[in-house]
Amino acid sequence: MLEIKDLHVEVDGKKIINGLSLEVGAGEVHAIMGPNGSGKSTLAYVLAGREGYEVTKGSITFDGQDLLEMEPEERAAAGVFLAMQYPVEIPGVANMYFLRQAMNAVRKARGQPEIGAAEFMKKLREKARLMGVKDELLKRDLNFGFSGGEKKRNEILQMAMLEPRLCILDETDSGLDIDALRTVADGVNALRDPSRGMIVITHYQRLLDYIVPDRVHVLARGAIQRSGSKELALELEEGGYGALLGPEFAHESASAGAA
Amino acid sequence: MAVARRTIEPVPAFEAAFAQARERLPGAKLPALADWRQASFARFREQGIPTNRVEAWKYTNVARVVNVPMGLAPKVQVRLDDLAPYLAGGPKARRMIFVNGHVVPELCHIESLPAGLRITSLGKVLEAEPEKVTAILRATAEDDRSFTALNAAFAGSGAWIEVDDGVEVVEPLQLLFLTVGRPEPFMTHPRNVVRLGKGAKLRLIETHAGSGEGQSLTNLVTQIELGPDSALEQDRVELLNDGASHIGKAYVRLADRARLVQTVATLGGGLVRNETEARLDGSNIECLLNGLYLACGKEHVDNLIRVHHEKPASHSDQFYKGVIADRAHAAFAGKIIVHKDAQKTNGYQKNDNLLLSDDAEIDTKPELEIYADDVKCSHGATSGNLDPVALFYLRSRGLERETAESLLTFAFAAEVIERFSDETVRRQVRRVALSRLPGGAALGDLA
């Protein structure tokens, strides 16, 4: 469903992604691991359509459509969802109101009727319970003053409500304690579906104990250096990037700045 | 070297208009009134119309407003249905309705008032008690401001509200001023006087609305006197058309422990200038001034606030937010003046602006002038654009760009809207604010 071919991306004139190719089929979960600055978050943002990321070469197609030609909202309507590493705090916009707006915007773009208030509430309560998101949090302003864990749960709640076809999780595990990690992983696993693809971006193998991937890719210096089964993550965890990719990658983890 | 001219000549048309009006204004035959109006007009003539060289008028050029001959408007017929969109305060609200400067008694609802509450038209009290009333109106003559003098010269329109000691008025009172456009330019000079006795309470809703095409000027003066321990909640909404100019000044005086919460929304008008001068003439006063302006097209909105802390231990807070779109221009100048004796003053001021286009302009000037040494004061102003990261976040969840922009803009404005004391006003302001945003239609249920 997703096909990335020889992707090159620059941010402020700096090359971040250099010839990345990746295919994700329906029903598959792909993990992308990599050190800081390897281009993981850049890949996530390019897929979601954030401004400021210039694709200088290559292509991304999603269900046969040219994803790069689409506005962020068109991608959302087509079924792309990015659970962000740093969900944005938006004071003045109630969480629940926003969720309903988003759902109806996506439904409208997909030619579906708006969801009724009662049906929406029923669905929201069900998904919120699953994600351990309290009623109080639904009534508050979007992500405003939420703890790190609350923000991540709220992202996955949005994902569950919007029912995307391609889920991209950008370091969803960062800042989570083990209980929160389990809840979030359960929520993600509940969305695993033969019609749905997932890209799980993470620093640590730990998340992959809970969300077990079909494929693991190691991203470094803007390209996928190795791909393999879930065991690759364990191998990486034990030996580090140097052992896995060669001595020239040994110090990648120490390189500063997330890109 | 040429001397900087402080004023432009008031157009001769004002002379003609005054000559005509003074014969017809309420109480025209009463010498005390006629003399006072004549003296006021002389003062106006002397002061002239301010130019941009006067600091307080730096960003608002009134020349284009006054350089057309304007007379007073004749009475027009309106039906209650025409007013329906502007009614606020709920079914129990008392109401005075003015159309093009004339009170419309058959549409007012001010009968069977409880003891200790007086609501009537200024014209009536001027005729009934000219000496007493002009003595009160004269308080504004100390101000070297030509529009105030002009208002006095034409005094006759407006509301007279008195709440006696200890009287707490439960139902809100709405003053609705409707400007119905006419082929010929016209002006109105309403003056509202609100006097609360010791411990009195009132909720006041003031609505200035416009319908139809045509040029008009509303030159409003408001006098508010709050006795000790009294409380006034004042919601004010301005919904004017492009041809309408609105120049207003409120003179507010507060005594010990009085409380004023004033919230203003400017949601339309070719040129709107609102001035508030509050004198905190006592201790433990609370004076909260909130404002929202949402200017589009080529609208011009200018707010000028002066808060004088004259005695110790009072609290004032100015909180103004602006959204400026298209080619609109807004100005904000707020000042806290802490007089020598006003120790233990708390004075705050904040003005935040959101610019929605490259051609939109904001001139903001927060100021403090402090002569006491033991005070807590702060001021700040910001201006910026919508946060691109927040926009991306909303769009990535499926919201169209326009909807996302409008949602963020509305959220910015909502912080002020929530401060209106009356729920019907909050709803009205939300509805109108959304209607002014390009993506507001998709957000209708926020109203």
User: How far apart (Å, rounded) are the C-alpha atoms in residues B443 and B410?
Assistant: 9
Quick check: is B177 in a domain?
Answer: yes
User: How far apart (Å, rounded) are the C-alpha atoms in residues B146 and B7?
Assistant: 10
Contact B396 A87 (CB under 8 A): no
Quick check: is B327 in a domain?
Answer: no
Closest Cα in chain B, distance from residue A222 (Å): 23
Q: B274 with B393, same domain?
A: no
Segments forming the whole domain that contains residue B419: 388-447
Q: B392 with B251, same domain?
A: no
Quick check: is B239 in a domain?
Answer: yes
Per DSSP, helices labelled H in chain A are: 40-48, 72-78, 95-109, 117-131, 135-139, 148-162, 178-190, 206-210, 231-245
Contact B392 A72 (CB under 8 A): yes
Contact B411 A92 (CB under 8 A): yes
Q: How far is CA A247 from CA A16, A241, A257, B248, in A?
A: 21, 8, 21, 76
Quick check: is B39 in a domain?
Answer: yes
| Residue B413 contacts residue B446 (beta carbons within 8 Å) | no
pLDDT of residue B11: 63
Instruction: Say what percent of chain B tops pLDDT 70.
Output: 98
Neighbours of A214 (CB within 10 A): 15
- Domain boundary residue among B281, B315, B333? B281
pLDDT of residue B6: 54
Q: How confident is the model at residue B8 (pLDDT cuts 50, 70, 90)?
A: low
Contact B398 A84 (CB under 8 A): no
Q: B92 with B215, same domain?
A: yes
- Taking CB atoms and an 8 Å cutoff, what residues of chain A touch B386? none
- Taking CB atoms and an 8 Å cutoff, what residues of chain A touch B392? 48-51, 72
- Taking CB atoms and an 8 Å cutoff, what residues of chain B touch A163? none
Asked if residue B129 has pLDDT above 70, the reply is: yes
Mutation to test the A interface, candidates B352, B389, B395, most A Cβ within 10 Å: B395
Domain count, chain B: 2
Residue A82 is nearest to which of B394, B396, B446, comparing CB atoms? B396
Quick check: is B369 in a domain?
Answer: no
Ramachandran assignment for A5, one of left (phi > 0), alpha (psi -120 to 50 degrees), beta (any other): beta
Q: What is the pLDDT of residues B22-41, one digit of tens each?
A: 999 999 999 999 999 999 99
Q: What is the pLDDT of residues B206-256, one digit of tens each?
A: 999 999 899 999 999 999 999 999 999 999 999 999 999 999 999 999 999
CA distance from start to end of chain B: 57
- Taking CB atoms and an 8 Å cutoff, what residues of chain B touch A154? none
- Domain boundary residue among B248, B281, B314? B281
List beta partners, residue A15.
Answer: A10
Closest Cα in chain B, distance from residue A244 (Å): 35
Q: B188 with B69, same domain?
A: yes
Q: Output the average pLDDT for chain A.
A: 92
pLDDT of residue A257: 37
User: How far apart (Å, rounded) are the C-alpha atoms in residues B442 and B447?
Assistant: 11
SS3 B134: helix
- Domain boundary residue among B230, B247, B281? B281
Asked if residue B4 has pLDDT above 90, the reply is: no
User: How far apart (Å, rounded) are the C-alpha atoms in residues A185 and A208?
Assistant: 9
- Taking CB atoms and an 8 Å cutoff, what residues of chain B touch A81? 396-397
Q: How confident is the model at residue A163 (pLDDT cuts 50, 70, 90)?
A: very high
Q: How confident is the model at residue A252 (pLDDT cuts 50, 70, 90)?
A: low
Contact A76 B395 (CB under 8 A): yes
Neighbours of A139 (CB within 10 A): 11
The lowest-confidence range among B46-60, B218-232, B388-402 is B46-60
The tokens of B170 are what?
């439960």
Q: What is the pLDDT of residues A104-145, one digit of tens each?
A: 999 999 999 999 999 999 999 999 998 989 999 999 999 999
Contact A162 B397 (CB under 8 A): yes
The tokens of A35 are what?
């050190």
Give the single-character DSSP code of B360: -
User: How far apart (Å, rounded) are the C-alpha atoms in residues A224 and B27?
Assistant: 90
Closest Cα in chain A, distance from residue B168 (Å): 34
SS3 A182: helix
Q: How confident is the model at residue B107 (pLDDT cuts 50, 70, 90)?
A: very high
List beta partners, residue B304.
Answer: B275, B333
User: How far apart (Å, rounded) are the C-alpha atoms in residues B409 and B79?
Assistant: 35
Q: B274 with B141, same domain?
A: yes
- Taking CB atoms and an 8 Å cutoff, what residues of chain A touch B412? 92
Asked if residue B125 has pLDDT above 80, the reply is: yes
Q: What is the pLDDT of residues A32-55, one digit of tens each?
A: 999 888 999 999 999 999 999 999
Q: B173-180 and A80-83: which strand pairing?
A: unpaired
Q: B277 with B392, same domain?
A: no
Contact A101 B411 (CB under 8 A): no
Q: B397 with B259, same domain?
A: no
The interface predicted TM-score of the complex, written ipTM, equals 0.95
pLDDT of residue A258: 39
Quick check: is B304 in a domain?
Answer: no
Residue A48 is nearest to which of B388, B396, B412, comparing CB atoms? B396
Closest Cα in chain B, distance from residue A82 (Å): 7
pLDDT of residue A101: 94
Quick check: is B346 in a domain?
Answer: no
Asked if residue A254 has pLDDT above 50, the reply is: no
Amino acid at B108: C
